[in-house]
């Protein structure tokens, strides 16, 4: 069996909707976060692969986990992440939780309601934020706000790609009860343009996702690391802008992603605002590019 990385989609950290270990993050943490990302990216691409069978996908995800846990060295990304985690004394549990989500992607194609979707986010999204917080040595008191942010990011992605996920993977993250309540069903996701009923359904879910962002808004002020606070503020601001697009645009027929320019300007404003607040509220933060 070839290494799973050979089956990657070609998508990298720079192609994501939100920053992945951007230059804002301290260099001493960036390599570890990127090792985590590379492991997760390989697993995600396996779960979404167009030609692998369900059995082949699950076997490869199991082999990735075995490499992560030191049971083999067959998957380079698993072995590398294992080594860098061990060097920092960090557990593999967050990566393992994400593997649970990818296995679920392989075997589960529909979600009955909002609670079931949030249950999926507990494995598909929340571990990412918890991992980054752990890498920075932040308190677990930050986890609840981080969980809300990560769940919001995941659902935003689901809403942006609802048509593509249905057409390419027959996978529907839009809760079935929300569609039924609006008088529509999954077949509407395969159309070139969203019907009024589907638009109303998606707007309702977008509004509900905005409540998660309201819960996550304090997170940047809760963390001790100034650079991480700026990264979180950037992600929060980008998510809020995407919520605005989803409320006004049709994800089946219109672009609901930010341009590179819009992402950059949003990031600069959010970072500058966060840094200014910290300067006035806590004194000048440590902002040296070298490890502290």
Per-residue pLDDT reduced to its tens digit, 222-259: 999 999 999 999 999 999 999 999 999 999 999 999 98
Residue where the block lists tokens 């994501």: 16
Per-residue pLDDT reduced to its tens digit, 10-21: 665 455 556 666
Per-residue pLDDT reduced to its tens digit, 104-135: 999 999 999 999 999 999 999 999 999 999 99
pLDDT score recorded for residue 15: 52
* Positions of CATH 1.10.600.10 in the chain: 111-282
**Domain 111-282 top-level CATH class:** mainly alpha
Label residue 177 left, alpha or beta by phi (over 0 means left) and psi (-120 to 50 means alpha): alpha
Rounded to whole angstroms, what are the CA distances from 165 to 17, 48, 189? 16, 10, 9
pLDDT score recorded for residue 291: 39
Task: Report how far residue 263's alpha carbon sits from residue 260's, in angstroms, rounded to the nearest whole number.
Answer: 5
Distance of CA 149 to the CA centre of its chain: 9
- Mean pLDDT for 73-77 is 95
pLDDT score recorded for residue 11: 61
In whole numbers, what is the pLDDT of the chain averaged over residues? 91
Task: Report how far residue 251's alpha carbon sits from residue 1's, in angstroms, rounded to the nearest whole number.
Answer: 38
Distance of CA 284 to the CA centre of its chain: 31
Q: What is the pTM of this model?
A: 0.90
Please, are residues 162 and 206 in contact by the beta-carbon 8 Å criterion?
no
């Amino acid at each position: 069996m070839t290494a799973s990385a050979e089956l990657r989609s070609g998508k990298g950290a720079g192609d994501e909707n939100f920053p992945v270990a951007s230059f804002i993050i301290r260099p001493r943490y960036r390599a570890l976060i990127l090792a985590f990302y590379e492991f997760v990216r390989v697993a995600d691409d396996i779960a979404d692969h167009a030609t692998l069978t369900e059995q082949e996908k699950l076997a490869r995800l199991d082999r990735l986990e075995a490499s992560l846990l030191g049971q083999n060295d067959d998957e380079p990304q698993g072995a590398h992440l294992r080594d860098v985690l061990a060097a920092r004394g960090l557990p593999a549990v967050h990566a393992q939780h994400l593997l649970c989500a990818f296995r679920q992607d392989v075997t589960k194609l529909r979600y009955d309601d909002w609670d079931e979707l949030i249950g999926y986010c507990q494995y598909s999204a929340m571990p990412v934020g918890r991992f980054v917080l752990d890498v920075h040595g932040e308190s677990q008191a930050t986890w609840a706000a981080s969980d809300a942010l990560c769940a919001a990011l995941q659902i935003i992605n689901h809403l942006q790609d609802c048509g593509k996920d249905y057409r390419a993977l027959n996978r529907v993250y839009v809760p079935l009860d929300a569609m039924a309540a609006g008088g529509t069903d999954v077949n509407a996701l395969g159309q070139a343009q969203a019907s009024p009923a589907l638009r109303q359904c998606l707007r309702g879910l977008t509004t509900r996702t905005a409540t998660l962002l309201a819960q996550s808004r304090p997170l940047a002020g809760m963390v001790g690391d100034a650079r991480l606070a700026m990264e979180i503020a950037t992600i929060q601001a980008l998510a809020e802008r995407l919520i605005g697009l989803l409320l006004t645009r049709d994800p089946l027929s219109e672009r609901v992603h930010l341009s590179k320019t819009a992402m950059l300007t949003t990031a600069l404003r959010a970072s500058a605002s966060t840094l200014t607040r910290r300067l006035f509220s806590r004194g000048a933060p440590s902002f040296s590019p070298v490890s502290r």
